[in-house]
Amino acid sequence: MLKVHAWKRQRDIFAAVARFRRVATRSGHKVSKTNSLACLALWWVCTRPRAKVVLSSTVGDQLKNILWPEVCRLHREAAFPIGGKLSADYHGGLWFDDDRAIIAMKSEDTKPESFAGVSSPHLLYLIDESSGFPDSLLEAAWGNCASNGTIAAFSNPTRTSGWFYDAFHEKRGSWHTLHIDSRESPNITGEVDVPGLARREWVDELATAFGAESPTFSVRVAGEFPRAGDCVVVSLGLLETALKRDPTQATPGPLRLGLDVGRTGDDASVLCAARGNLTLPLRETRGREGDDLAGWVLEQLADLDPRGAEVPECRIDVIGVGASVYDHLKHSKRLQAIPVNVSTRPMDPEHYATTRDEVWFAGAEFLKEGGTLPPGDTELQGELTAARYAFNGKGRYVVESKDTMKKRLKRSPNRADAFNLMAYGRGSFPVADIAGWMAAMDAAGVGVSRELPPRAHMRPPSEREDDGDDDTYRGRY
């Protein structure tokens, strides 16, 4: 009737929902999840008297732009008229004169009492993006299905906590569980060709971008939960949340720049720009010396701010060749060049071993506070989720070295470094203090060098101090 030729694992999903009252499916990407949910919703409401389906998702945009349009498409293209009053907008749902309905609710706008307030002798809750779905709403649905309702939950397994995670672990006895690896796609196994589903080329691209052993590949392709031992600075759950944010709703703010300078001829130099919480597409160049690279940065700034109305802060990693770029940019009136030496004492030495550790966690904090990521930049995504951390003997965060990350990624994480520099020290470097400190440096004949701690931007040379923990910094970069 719906003109859908289900492939093997899709048939497994349909059979499970028909047979079991609690079904949880974890999967990689591109395995017909959206199509399966839409098929289930229409099948259920068309085959049971007074049936109701509650269709929900953690992310409203998923419901609005992906899931509900698929319901509308299947309804429109069905082999026989399905009938009912179908709204083009998910808020209106699909209603029939005999009280059957598909009701769409996004989780962030729904209270537990509303979620549990749907009444039907044949009730089906279909929950998409379940890894982040509120426990309170699941509990409301569970209570409402006590007699004869069914709950079917679907998600990429991005989080290692919450009821969806528990469904595959300590609460497994209460759920019928399914696991679908993206490499089971019919386009890969040869079962049938289905446009839009995972192909071998896509799997290979993710393996290249993130690493086949990375948590991101494990979740997005293998459909596995992140391992408990993976202490990553930017978790996949945090990354997914940032990617789902609507860039048009980002909090506005002044232009900020972060510049990571390539250390060898084949390394890219990357400039990251952001306005408030909106991260703009990253820009990169290769094979430029200090003065040439400084000129390129000013060209990019002219493109970002054609009227020259802003004088943005530009944080520059001054290790190695970055010092030359800073020396050329520090005299520019178009930007405020701020040197960052990642090998020195951090602003918060209680929690971080070096400035590099602090810079990495600044990027994570930017995302936690509502920051966005440029869509489609899989290299940046892979680099952000690749960084792992541990703790030193004093309980400080220590992010693994750049060389270690480079070996695993097969490239230098320059895009992530530029992003983190952009996010570092937001609002904590008053320009007047920097200018005063610069003057003190010039008067003392010291200048900015890689021996100066980053917090020295706020202190004259005589006030610099050594915490006696120099060994922390050796061999880290």
Question: What pLDDT is attached to residue 102?
Answer: 97
Token pair belonging to 282? 């990253």
Model confidence at 432: pLDDT above 90: no
Task: Please indicate, yes or no, whether residues 351 and 453 belong to a single structural domain of this protein.
Answer: yes
Give the residue from 156, 173, 189 where a domain finishes.
Answer: 189
- How many folded domains does the chain comprise? 2
Cα–Cα distance measured from residue 1 to residue 383, given in angstroms and rounded to the nearest whole number: 45
Cα–Cα distance measured from residue 409 to residue 386, given in angstroms and rounded to the nearest whole number: 8
Q: How far out from the chain centre does Cα 30 lie? A: 17
Task: Please indicate, yes or no, whether residues 313 and 453 belong to a single structural domain of this protein.
Answer: yes
Q: What residues does 284 pair with on adjacent strands? A: 270
Token pair belonging to 421? 């520099």
Question: What pLDDT is attached to residue 60?
Answer: 61
Percent of the chain with pLDDT over 90: 60
Task: Please indicate, yes or no, whether residues 267 and 376 belong to a single structural domain of this protein.
Answer: yes
Task: Please indicate, yes or no, whether residues 157 and 251 belong to a single structural domain of this protein.
Answer: no
Cα–Cα distance measured from residue 308 to residue 255, given in angstroms and rounded to the nearest whole number: 11
Confidence of residue 386 (pLDDT cuts 50, 70, 90): confident
Please give the angle made by the CA atoms of 329, 335 and 338, to the nearest 5 degrees. 65
SS3 assignment, position 312? coil
Confidence of residue 229 (pLDDT cuts 50, 70, 90): low
Confidence of residue 264 (pLDDT cuts 50, 70, 90): low
Buried-exposed string 180-209: b where 16+ CB fall within 10 A, e elsewhere? bbbebbbbbeeeeebeebbbeebbeebebb
Q: What's the rounded mean pLDDT across residues 165-184?
A: 93
Give the residue from 146, 161, 189 where a domain finishes.
Answer: 189
Q: What's the rounded mean pLDDT across residues 88-114?
A: 90
Residue listed under structure tokens 């429109």: 76
Cα–Cα distance measured from residue 419 to residue 379, given in angstroms and rounded to the nearest whole number: 12
Buried-exposed string 231-255: b where 16+ CB fall within 10 A, e elsewhere? ebbbbbbbbbbbbebeeeebeeeeb
Model confidence at 429: pLDDT above 80: no
Write the CB contacts of 212 (distance below 8 Å, at least 6 apart in sequence): none
**Full domain range(s) for residue 439:** 240-472
Model confidence at 427: pLDDT above 50: no
Q: What's the rounded mean pLDDT across residues 4-28?
A: 97
Model confidence at 151: pLDDT above 80: yes
Q: What's the rounded mean pLDDT across residues 282-296?
A: 93
Task: Please indicate, yes or no, whether residues 273 and 409 belong to a single structural domain of this protein.
Answer: yes
Model confidence at 197: pLDDT above 60: yes
Q: What's the rounded mean pLDDT across residues 242-259?
A: 92
Model confidence at 286: pLDDT above 50: yes
N-term to C-term CA, the chain = 61
User: For the chain, percent helix, then strand, then coil, each to nearest 5?
Assistant: 40, 15, 40
Which region among 75-84, 236-245, 461-470 has the lowest average model confidence (pLDDT)? 461-470
Q: Is residue 122 part of a domain?
A: yes
Q: Rounded mean pLDDT of the chain?
A: 86
Q: What's the rounded mean pLDDT across residues 308-319?
A: 94
Question: What pLDDT is attached to residue 85?
Answer: 96
Q: Is residue 202 part of a domain?
A: no
Which CA distances in Å does 373 have to 62, 132, 280, 343? Answer: 17, 19, 8, 26
Q: Is residue 210 part of a domain?
A: no
Question: What pLDDT is attached to residue 466?
Answer: 39
Residue type for position 235: S
Q: Is residue 74 part of a domain?
A: yes
Q: What's the rounded mean pLDDT across residues 187-212?
A: 93
Cα–Cα distance measured from residue 339 to residue 28, given in angstroms and rounded to the nearest whole number: 42
Q: What is the CATH number of the domain that holds 323?
A: 3.30.420.240
Q: Is residue 450 part of a domain?
A: yes
Model confidence at 443: pLDDT above 50: no
Cα–Cα distance measured from residue 438 to residue 459, given in angstroms and rounded to the nearest whole number: 10
Question: What pLDDT is attached to residue 58?
Answer: 81
Q: Is residue 183 part of a domain?
A: yes
Q: How far out from the chain centre does Cα 349 lie? A: 28
Model confidence at 464: pLDDT above 50: no
Task: Please indicate, yes or no, whether residues 343 and 408 belong to a single structural domain of this protein.
Answer: yes
Q: Is residue 231 part of a domain?
A: no
Task: Please indicate, yes or no, whether residues 244 and 128 belong to a single structural domain of this protein.
Answer: no
Q: Is residue 207 part of a domain?
A: no
Q: What's the rounded mean pLDDT across residues 369-397?
A: 87
Task: Please indicate, yes or no, whether residues 184 and 87 belong to a single structural domain of this protein.
Answer: yes
Task: Please indicate, yes or no, whether residues 170 and 21 belong to a single structural domain of this protein.
Answer: yes
